[in-house]
Amino acid sequence: MTVSIDNVISSTYIVIAIFIVAIFLSAKKKKHQEFFSSVVSQELKGLATFMILFGHIGYFLVTDHRFLFPLSIAAGVGVNLFLFLSGYGLSTSAMRHPLTIWQFYKKRLAKLFIPMWLVLLVFLLLDYFVLQRTYSLSYIALSFLGWFRTADLATDINSPLWYFSFILFYYLLFPLVFSKKYYWASALFIYLSSYFLLRGHETSRFIDIINLFKIHLLAFPLGVLLGGLYAQRHRLSRLVKAVRAFIHHEKISHMIGYYILAIILLAIFVYTAYHSNVDTKPLKEQVTSLITLSAILLIFLMKKFDVKLFSLFGFYSYEIYLLHWPILYRYDVFYQYLPAWLATILYLFLFIFLAWLLKKVSSLVLASKTR
C-alpha cells in the first residue's frame, strides 16, 4: 500500500547526502583501459537500478512526490538503460562468440526465467499464507510463461514484470535475426518488428502495458547497433585512439576541454531528465529519454574513476528489479515505523542481501540443470 511520510524535504536531503558520500567513498581510480569495458556496463546497470528504485519509491510508493526528488525523476531512463545494455551485451557477445539458436535459448533463457520463477513462487506463497491473497490459475500460468498483460501496482503480483515480457520478446527474436555482417540491418529489423507488432493496439485491453512498450522501443535496437559497431571497432581504430588520447591527455588545455565537455554533458542530463516529456507522445518521450541516456553513457565512458557502489548494484541489478516492488508495496516494514531516510537506506541493504541470496539459489538451480 502507499505510505505517508513526515519531514519529506529533510529526509530527502539526508538520503541525497548519504548517496553522494557513498559514491565518493566507493570511487577508485580506473585500472582498466578498455573504452567500453564490462566494468562500465555494470556501473550503468547499477545507476539504472538506483533510478528505478528511487522512481518507484518517490512516485508510486509514497504519497508525497517531493520525497527523493530529484533522484526519483529518471525511472524511465533507467528502463531504457537496461534495454540498451541488454541489446549491447547480446550484440557484442554474438559478434565474439556466435551461438546456434538452440544454444542461445538454452543459455540466455534459463538465466532469465529461473530467478523470475523463484521470485514468483516466493511471492505467491507469501501472498497466500500471509495476506490470504490469491490469483487465478490462468494468471499464474501466464506469469510463469513470462507473459504479464497488465502492470497494475496494486493488483498484480509484481507490476514491474511488464519489463520481463518486453525483454523476453527481444531475447526470442534476437538469435533468429542477428547477423554479424549485417548487424545494422538486424537492429533495424528488431525495431521495425516491435514497432509494427504494437501498432494498431490503441484499443487493446492491454493498452496500459502496450503504452509502456511504446515509450521504450528504440533502446534495445540501438544497443544492438552500438554493440555491432564496437565489435567492429578495428575499422574505427583511429577514432577510438583519438577519443582515448583525449580522455587521458594530461596537458592543461586538454584537461580544460575534458571538464568543459563533462559539464556540458551533465547539464544535458539534468535538463532532459527534468524536462522528460513524460505523458506526451511516445516518440517525443522516448527521444528525450534517449538523449538523457546518451549523456549518461558519454559521462561514464569519459570518467577516470570507477564507482564500486554502482558496480555492486549493477551486479545484482536483475535480482533487485525482480524483488523490490512487492516488498515495498505489500510487505513494507520500514517506512511505516522508521524515518523515511533511514527506511530508504535500510531497504537498499535489504535488497542487496536478498538479491545475493536469489543469485546464489539461481546459480545452484542452473548448475543442477547442466549436470
Chain segment 281-337, per-residue pLDDT in tens: 888 999 999 999 999 999 998 888 999 999 999 999 999 999 999 999 999 999 999
Domain positions in the chain = 8-370
Helix, strand or coil, per DSSP, at residue 305: strand
User: Using CA atoms, how far apart are residues 111 and 133, in angstroms rounded to an integer?
Assistant: 28
Instruction: Give the contacts of 18 (CB within 8 A, at least 6 positions apart).
Output: 341, 345
Report the pLDDT averaged over residues 15-22: 97
Q: Is residue 264 predicted with pLDDT exceeding 60?
A: yes
CA distances from 364 to 125, 131, 133, 358 (A): 21, 29, 30, 10
Interval 68-110: pLDDT, tens: 999 999 999 999 999 999 999 999 999 988 899 999 999 999 9
Question: Do 194 and 217 meet the contact criterion of CB atoms below 8 Å apart?
Answer: yes
**What is the 8-class DSSP label of residue 134?**
-
Predicted confidence at residue 277, as pLDDT, reads 86
Q: For 207-251, what is each residue's pLDDT tens digit? A: 668 888 989 999 999 999 999 888 776 655 665 566 656 555 666
pTM for this entry = 0.93
pLDDT at 201: 62
Strands (E) in the chain, as ranges, are 27-29, 305-307
* Residue predicted with more confidence, 235 or 356: 356
For residue 263, give Cα distances in angstroms to 13, 23, 181, 266, 330.
23, 18, 37, 5, 41
Please determine, for residue 31, whether its predicted confidence score (pLDDT) is greater than 80: no
Residue 105 DSSP code: I
Which of 210-214, 261-265, 358-362 has the least mean pLDDT? Answer: 210-214
End-to-end CA distance of the chain: 43
